[in-house]
Structure 1
Amino acid sequence: MVALRVTVNYLMSNWRLEVSGRTQGLLLGLVLFNVFVGDTDVGIECTLSKFADDTKLCHVVNMLEGRDAIQRDLDRLERWARVNLMKFSQAKFKVLHLGCSNPKHKQRLGKEWIESSHE
């Protein structure tokens, strides 16, 4: 059992016990979730892909400006989550580095450094 509540325009619903972390198979739940996260890409410089509860931030980094653009967007996403009383799962965050001569810049979400994967 998980206790859940919904926040819209700074108004919060009462707590409700649910069997799982999110309602499965309910179309209205998915629609409301997509409406809620619809503004996550406001001000984002890089490519932001969203599908259900999965978010990917992508950008080509061949100069320091590209690295800085990704970090600015990660900072924006972290602020969005804080304002909307949500959290990103740190355990699921990964930075994927592609290419032989990739300098493998480190990125952070909030105060936590993100683990890197290398291809």
Structure 2
Amino acid sequence: MALKGNKDDFKFNKDNCKVLYLGKHNPGLQHRLGSTGLGSSSVEKDLGDLVDKLKMSEQCAAAAKKANRMLGCINKGITSRDKDIVIPLYSALVRPHLE
């Protein structure tokens, strides 16, 4: 299916483009898109996940940090330790970050 409209309707922002170098033996060359030089990055977010040279360590650490923050909010904000209250909160707010 083709998109309708002029080519001017679809703007491409070259300033938002970055190069993510992967692999151990990558020379790290300077890349250009037209006349604009592209910056490099060591980590980028893609669909909510951090991509870091295909390592999961940074992604896991970020997810654990977010889950711990949510758990801290539950502990500070809820005075009751009743299972009927804490378990649904944990299931809704903390567990999705860990999965």
TM range (shorter): 0.3 to 0.5
Higher RCO, 1 vs 2 (CA within 8 Å, ≥6 residues apart): 2
TM-score when normalising by structure 2: 0.33
Which of the two has higher C-alpha Rg?
2
